[in-house]
A and B are shown apart, each in its own frame.
Chain A
């Protein structure tokens, strides 16, 4: 088959071979900056007696996780907490009775940018509810700050949800289209007179 398409196969080899040095340049090049994302809780005072925090565990290559080494980074009113994890971390809460709650989504994390203009991103969040061990969260704004803490931009609104729903609609509609395409072609193939 490949012999039949010798020209195409050569082109494929050229594309893959040609991409290699470029990939190496891009991965090694000084193009990406890690920008930490902070998390700021706006309505902690609506939950009196509840402490909100992120959990950090001491970990080293040779030691298992030591339960005593868990440290809690509390969210204080008006102060953003940096969450230096690539995929973000879950927010925890503890009420007066000692009940522990965990957020259903990860927060914070690291943004990868190809420029270092914005030094920090802060997600401003509101806790919607605490129930059945779960913290429901709404992200209300994204604040972008420079290295001096000066606010450069505030994007208001429930970050992402409408946008994400809209974007996910494209692959879903496309998949439905492909399924329809598949069945229509099968129908035409079995009933050639309908073509």
Chain B
């Protein structure tokens, strides 16, 4: 159940970044892209972290790389723009997640 809450929160937090970067592709496409990308990376990351003793920062870097690669593949964007987008989106959600965790809201 918690994993679904984390996924929902991540989508909500990252959605403005997705819309900012990809609204020119169409608002609907940006929203679908946000849901699909996070639906793929977020539960995968959390399940792998739960199952194996992996380094969370290393895994976050992998998520940034995967999300940037997906943006390059799907929107044919440049690597620089995609990496910037992915770093911002994941940095924001990870940072807000840390704050919520520190405040014991999560």
The residues of A with any CB-CB pair to B shorter than 8 Å are 1-2, 5, 8-9, 11-12, 15-16, 18-19, 22-23, 25-26, 29, 86-87, 114, 164, 167-168, 170-171, 173-175, 177-178, 181-182, 185, 189
**How many Cβ-Cβ contacts under 8 Å join chain A to chain B?**
80
A174 to B66 CA separation, bound complex (whole angstroms): 14
Give A86 to B92 CA distance when docked, in angstroms: 30
What's the dominant secondary structure at chain B's contact region? helix
Complex contact B47–A167 (CB within 8 A): yes
Is B19 an interface residue, CB under 8 A from the partner?
no
Q: Are A19 and B94 in contact (CB under 8 A)?
A: yes
CB-nearest residue of chain B to A109? B53
List B contacts of A25 (CB < 8 A).
102
- Please report the C-alpha to C-alpha distance between residue A164 and residue B94 in the assembled complex, in whole angstroms: 23
A171–B39 CB distance below 8 A:
yes
The reply to whether the CB of B27 lies closer than 8 angstroms to some CB of chain A is no
- Decide if A178 touches B102 in the complex (CB within 8 Å): no
Q: Could you tell me the distance in whole angstroms from the C-beta of A160 to the nearest C-beta in chain B?
A: 10
Q: Which residues of A contact B70 (CB under 8 A)?
A: 178
**A178 with B88: CB separation less than 8 A:** no
Q: Across the interface, which residues of B come within 8 angstroms of A86, CB to CB?
A: 53
Contacts of A168 in B (CB 8 A): 43, 47
A86→B50 CA distance, assembly (Å): 11
Measured between C-beta atoms, what is the minimum distance from A118 to chain B in Å?
A: 16
Q: Is the CB of A12 within 8 A of B95?
A: no
Task: Return the 3 tightest CB-CB contacts between A and B, nearest first.
Answer: A174-B39, A1-B80, A174-B40
Given contacts A15-B91, A87-B52, A167-B43, 10 further A-B contacts (CB under 8 A): A1-B84, A5-B81, A8-B88, A19-B91, A171-B39, A171-B40, A171-B44, A177-B32, A181-B32, A181-B33
